[in-house]
């Protein structure tokens, strides 16, 4: 039976008040190189699995408007804290090898028994999902939703797919010096939404953004990877979701993905920035559920 959304239940936190304590679980998974990862799970444990993969210097908390939405009525919802982020371990020197990132997702998928999982990859999460697909293929993947996604890094072409505002912040974001790093973090958070979010939302986002250690941000910035070859080989259904006012990853990145994946569905969000799943959560959740219906 295809899961359906009820429009009156699609915004954040309007699941029943008892849903969090009754339905939420935290999984511990051993990823690449023995690194410990944390994964949050909500929703229907017997439903088709959706695995949410956040972006640079973020955490599972970025997906609150999905985890606490009507999606939980018909899907098994899982959100990983990537290595170095959130409640996952953050050792030095563990961020430059794509095989480790691939092993992290492989460990989550196999440890939690996710068969035919739909991967939802936001921003730098696009790089991580493509690491997984490069090294483990798409045998256990039902589909991929690229959301404001990066798909290449460390080259002139990759920099050309980043917004000028984001490029200006790179020295500070990758700095180990506290003062420029903090300033860059605050500016980066301002780029995540087109319209300024409510003050409490901004404080929460800044808190989990700034929680990521400087050596992790530096490590992510050291990678050079082009994934065009992986994108060209994709056969599973693909949805590309991108805000037209994205000031982190340009909409050109979404168009680039679609140009390499002819069967991809492209969905642009007018007047929306880098976080369509937050800024336009009703539409995003509705489109994700419709896309999921095509994947199984």
Of 150, 176, 154, give the one whose Cα is nearest residue 163.
Answer: 150
Angle between helices 214-221 and 178-191 (to 10 degrees): 70
**What's the confidence (pLDDT) of residue 4?**
33
Beta bridge partners of 39: 27, 80
Helices and strands in the chain, H and E counts: 13, 10
A 10 A CB-CB count for 293 gives 12
**What's the confidence (pLDDT) of residue 23?**
55
Domains along the sequence of the chain with CATH: 7-295 (3.40.50.1820)
Q: Which pTM was predicted?
A: 0.92
Give the DSSP H/E element, type plus range, for residue 214: helix 214-221
Q: Are 32 and 99 in contact (CB under 8 A)?
A: yes
Q: Collapsing DSSP states into helix, strand and coil, what is residue 88?
A: coil
Q: Collapsing DSSP states into helix, strand and coil, what is residue 276?
A: helix
Using a 10 angstrom Cβ sphere, with 0-12 exposed, 13-18 middle and 19 or more buried, the burial of residue 270 is: exposed
**What's the confidence (pLDDT) of residue 24?**
84
Q: How far is CA 157 from CA 140, 145, 165, 225, 229, in A?
A: 31, 22, 17, 11, 15
Beta bridge partners of 25: 41
Chunked mean pLDDT (size 10), the chain, 296 residues: 33 36 80 98 97 98 97 97 98 97 98 98 98 98 98 97 97 92 96 96 96 96 95 98 98 98 98 98 98 96
Beta bridge partners of 49: 76
**What's the confidence (pLDDT) of residue 9?**
30
């Amino acid at each position: 039976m295809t899961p359906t959304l009820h429009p009156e239940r699609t915004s954040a936190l309007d699941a029943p008040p008892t849903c969090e304590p009754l339905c939420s679980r935290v999984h511990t998974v051993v990823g690449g190189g023995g690194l410990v990862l944390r994964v949050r799970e909500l929703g229907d444990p017997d439903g088709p699995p959706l695995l949410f993969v956040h972006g640079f210097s973020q955490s599972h908390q970025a997906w609150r408007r999905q985890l606490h939405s009507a999606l939980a009525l018909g899907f098994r919802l899982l959100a990983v804290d990537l290595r170095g982020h959130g409640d996952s371990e953050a050792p030095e020197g563990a961020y430059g090898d794509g095989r480790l990132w691939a092993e992290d997702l492989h460990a989550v998928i196999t440890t939690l028994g996710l068969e035919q999982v739909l991967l939802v990859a936001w921003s730098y999460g696009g790089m991580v999902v493509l690491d997984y697909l490069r090294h483990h293929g798409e045998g256990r993947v039902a589909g991929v939703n690229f959301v404001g996604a990066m798909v290449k890094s460390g080259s002139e072409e990759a920099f050309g797919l980043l917004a000028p505002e984001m490029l200006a912040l790179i020295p500070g974001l990758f700095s180990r010096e506290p003062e420029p790093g903090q300033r860059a973090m605050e500016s980066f958070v301002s780029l995540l939404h087109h319209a300024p979010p409510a003050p409490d939302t901004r404080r929460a986002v800044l808190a989990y953004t700034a929680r990521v250690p400087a050596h992790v941000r530096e490590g992510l910035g050291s990678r050079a990877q082009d994934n065009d070859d992986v994108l060209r080989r994709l056969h599973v259904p693909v949805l590309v979701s991108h805000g037209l006012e994205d000031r982190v990853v340009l909409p050109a990145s979404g168009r680039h993905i679609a140009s390499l994946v002819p069967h991809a569905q492209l969905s642009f969000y007018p007047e929306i920035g880098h976080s369509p799943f937050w800024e336009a959560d009703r539409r995003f959740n509705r489109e994700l559920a419709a896309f999921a219906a095509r994947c199984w």
